[in-house]
């Protein structure tokens, strides 16, 4: 099935991120200790949290590939959203730890001037992470995978964090050693912000939140379907990277069941061409039922 093939491709992107983070985090942490750079150490810890987040995405993608069963009629696609939620908590804890250590170093007055080599390490790592970002972004666009696109954006933010660390280290060379610690503090804030963004998006999806602008597009596509004379209700919810839609339409009450079925099929075809819609449930009702009911009641009395 194409959906599961796309998930496998998404796993490949997750593995690329995990491999890059493993190598770069080790490189940054070792270099941070050797060159006495708080900013580079914080950047390395940031990549450690990214390993956890990428692993969570990978595990979620693996679970989401499980086919539907008696307990999960719609499949297991929400597993990746739950995994992302767990990852956000882990990232938040590490981000707070980085902030605490940065503040402690600043008030302890032990900030050492980092070696300029640390800035070179940060720049090289930024270039590598930008390459990972471009790869995952291209793959995410190819398979239309929102989770992998979010991971790609995280890769890009990590590249920016490394650039920020390099700026702090270079600034410390000009007699401002506290600037390195300040850069570490900013990195901690970025980790916490990323954790909050993931948490907010995950909880929004898990509570069946759906963008109103996208819902308006779905309603417009339904309204343009021949035979649809009214739309009583349109609801949608996100299921992993896919969308489930429930529609209640009104049609001519004199249409045959076959015609009603044809209209439903056409709506499903139209909607599945929009976004990542996996399932469309269409309920058909006769238009002006409240007018027909009195007429039916009048005829029955007359009999």
Same-domain status, 269 and 135: no
Same-domain status, 190 and 231: no
Instruction: Choose among 301, 8, 302: nearest CA to 145.
Output: 8
Domain end, chosen from 206, 236, 258, is at 206
Query: Are the C-beta atoms of residues 70 and 61 closer than 8 Å to each other?
Result: no
Domain end, chosen from 206, 224, 242, is at 206
Domain end, chosen from 137, 172, 206, is at 206
Same-domain status, 130 and 165: yes
303 residues of the chain, pLDDT tens digit each: 466 777 788 888 889 989 999 999 899 899 888 887 777 888 888 888 788 878 877 887 788 778 888 788 777 878 877 877 887 788 788 778 778 877 877 776 655 567 778 888 889 999 999 999 999 889 888 876 767 777 777 788 788 788 878 877 787 777 776 776 777 788 788 888 888 888 898 898 888 888 888 888 888 888 888 888 888 989 988 887 778 899 999 898 888 889 989 999 999 888 887 767 888 889 998 887 655 555 544 444 443
Query: Are the C-beta atoms of residues 31 and 37 closer than 8 Å to each other?
Result: yes
The CATH number given to whatever domain includes residue 218 is: 3.30.70.1350
Instruction: Choose among 175, 193, 200: nearest CA to 99.
Output: 193
Same-domain status, 241 and 194: no
Same-domain status, 216 and 76: no
Same-domain status, 217 and 122: no
Same-domain status, 199 and 100: yes
Same-domain status, 154 and 11: yes
Same-domain status, 34 and 170: yes
Same-domain status, 16 and 100: yes
Give the distance from CA 233 to its chain's centroid: 27
The CATH number given to whatever domain includes residue 110 is: 1.20.1510
pLDDT for position 299: 44
- Domain tally for the chain? 2
Domain that holds residue 267: 212-302
Same-domain status, 198 and 257: no
Distances (CA, A) of 68 to 4, 11, 60: 12, 20, 15
Q: How many CB atoms lie within 10 A of CB 8?
A: 12
Same-domain status, 87 and 108: yes
Question: What does the radius of gyration of the chain's CA atoms come to, in whole angstroms?
Answer: 27
């Amino acid at each position: 099935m194409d959906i599961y093939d796309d998930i496998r491709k998404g796993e490949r992107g997750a593995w690329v991120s995990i491999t890059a983070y493993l190598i770069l985090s080790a490189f940054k942490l070792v270099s941070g200790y050797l060159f006495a750079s708080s900013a580079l150490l914080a950047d390395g810890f940031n990549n450690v949290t990214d390993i956890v987040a990428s692993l969570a995405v990978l595990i979620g993608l693996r679970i989401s590939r499980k086919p539907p069963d008696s307990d999960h009629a719609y499949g297991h696609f929400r597993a990746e959203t739950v995994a992302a939620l767990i990852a956000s908590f882990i990232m938040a804890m590490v981000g707070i730890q980085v902030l605490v250590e940065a503040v402690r170093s600043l008030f302890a007055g032990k900030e050492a001037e980092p070696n300029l080599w640390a800035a070179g390490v940060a720049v090289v790592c930024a270039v590598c992470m930008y390459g990972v970002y471009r790869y995952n972004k291209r793959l995410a666009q190819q398979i239309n995978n929102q989770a992998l696109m979010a991971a790609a954006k995280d890769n890009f933010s990590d590249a920016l964090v490394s650039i920020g660390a390099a700026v702090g280290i270079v600034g410390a060379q000009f007699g401002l050693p506290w600037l390195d610690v300040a850069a570490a503090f900013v990195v901690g804030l970025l980790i916490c912000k990323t954790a909050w963004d993931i948490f907010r998006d995950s909880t929004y999806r898990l509570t069946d939140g759906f963008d109103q602008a996208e819902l308006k597009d779905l309603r417009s596509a339904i309204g343009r379907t021949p035979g649809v004379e009214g739309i009583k209700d349109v609801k949608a919810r996100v299921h992993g990277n896919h969308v489930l839609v429930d529609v209640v339409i009104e049609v001519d009450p004199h249409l045959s069941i076959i015609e009603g079925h044809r209209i439903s099929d056409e709506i499903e075809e139209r909607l599945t061409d929009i976004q990542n819609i996996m399932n469309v449930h269409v309920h058909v009702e006769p238009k002006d039922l409240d007018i027909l009911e009195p007429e039916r009641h009048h005829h029955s009395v007359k009999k």
